[in-house]
Amino acid sequence: MNGIKKWIKNHPDLWEFILFNVLSNCATVTNFVVMWLCTGIVFTGLKEISFKFFIFDYTTTGSLMLCGFLSFLIATAAAQTVNFFVQKNWVFKSNAAFASAVPKYIALAVILVILSAALPAYSQQLFIYIGIPAGLAPTLANVVNILVQVVLSYPTMKFWIMPKDKKTEANSLGR
């Protein structure tokens, strides 16, 4: 156990990134559960209604149509809500003012929600085109969404939304 603590102390940024990804699974689980509930129960009656607006193109059967759009939208919004609290409190241990962090996080979440609602229509079509079964395509599209969210979220949260106060950081390093 002392070896792990020593490694964490010697590699705090790498540990933070690992922790970010591990604890992001709280949001990931939320995302998948909500997506599966929405596509399998809540919005099943909307699988025949095509939806196209702006960059959102849910007009093919493989996209799950309006059911797919609403499912990915709601799943991403629920996951981002969970993720805010997990990342702020456990990963970044940020003392950033809630009133300051929330609007910034909402801006990030809006970008992620738009991307996550638009991207699956295209990625699902690609997966089906390359021979992935239509029943597996939404799950793989969700994996792509999550990877895009990690690439965008980590640096944005670390440096803009939830930066550590230099005094707090120095104290946590024993200075």
Classify residue 162 by burial, with Cβ atoms within 10 Å: 0-12, 13-18, 19+.
buried
Tokens of 14: 């790498």
Judge whether 171 and 95 are in contact, CB under 8 Å: no
Quickly state the pLDDT bin for 169 (edges 50, 70, 90): very low
Range 138-143 contact pairs with CB under 8 angstroms and sequence separation of 24 or more: 138/35, 138/39, 138/64, 138/68, 138/71, 139/32, 141/72, 142/31, 142/32, 142/35, 142/72, 142/75
DSSP 3-state of 53: strand
Identify the pLDDT of residue 155. 94
Judge if pTM exceeds 0.95: no
C-alpha atoms less than 13 angstroms from C-alpha of 75 in its C-beta half-sphere: 33
- Judged against a pLDDT cut of 50, whether residue 173 lies above it is answered with no
First to last CA, the chain: 23
- Judged against a pLDDT cut of 80, whether residue 8 lies above it is answered with yes
Average pLDDT, the chain: 88
Q: Which DSSP state fits 163?
A: P
- Give pLDDT tens digits for 66-90: 999 999 899 988 998 999 999 999 9
DSSP 3-state of 66: helix
**pLDDT above 90: percentage of residues in the chain:** 59
Helix (H) or strand (E) segment spanning residue 71: helix 65-86
Mean pLDDT over 11-40 rounds to 93
- Give pLDDT tens digits for 106-157: 999 889 888 888 888 899 999 999 999 998 998 999 899 888 888 899 999 9
